[in-house]
Amino acid sequence: MREALAQAHAVLVADYGRHTASAVPAHLAAVARRTPLVWDPHLKGENPVPGARIVTPNGAEACALSPAGGDSLRAYAARGADLAERWRVAAVAVTLGERGVLLTRPGAGTPMLVPTPYRAQGDPCGAGDCFAAATAAALADGALPEEAVQRAVAEAAAFVGAGGAGNPALWRTEPATGPEEEAPETDPFALAERVRARGGTAVATGGCFDLLHAGHVGLLESARRIGDCLIVCVNSDASLARRKGPGRPLNPVADRLRVLAALGSVDAVAVFEEDTPAALLSRLRALTSG
Active site annotation includes 267:
no
Write down the catalytic residue from 15, 40, 82, 129.
129
Is residue 38 within 8 A of residue 53, CB to CB? The reply is yes
Phi, psi of 102 (to 5 degrees): -110, 115
Distance, CA of 140 to CA of 250 (rounded, Å):
12
**Domain 179-288, second-level architecture:** 3-Layer(aba) Sandwich (3.40)
Is residue 151 within 8 A of residue 227, CB to CB? The reply is no
User: How many residues can be counted in the chain?
Assistant: 290
CATH 3.40.1190.20 fits 2-164, yes or no: yes
Q: What is the pTM of this model?
A: 0.59
Is residue 12 within 8 A of residue 40, CB to CB? The reply is yes
Sheet holding 268-272, edge to edge: 202-207, 229-235, 268-272
Distance, CA of 84 to CA of 54 (rounded, Å):
9
For 137-183, the pLDDT digits (tens) are: 999 988 899 999 999 999 898 888 888 777 776 666 555 455 444 44
**Residue 123 pLDDT more than 60?**
yes
Name the strand (E) or helix (H) holding 263.
none
Domain positions in the chain are 2-164, 179-288
For 243-285, the pLDDT digits (tens) are: 998 889 999 999 999 999 888 889 999 999 999 999 999 988 8
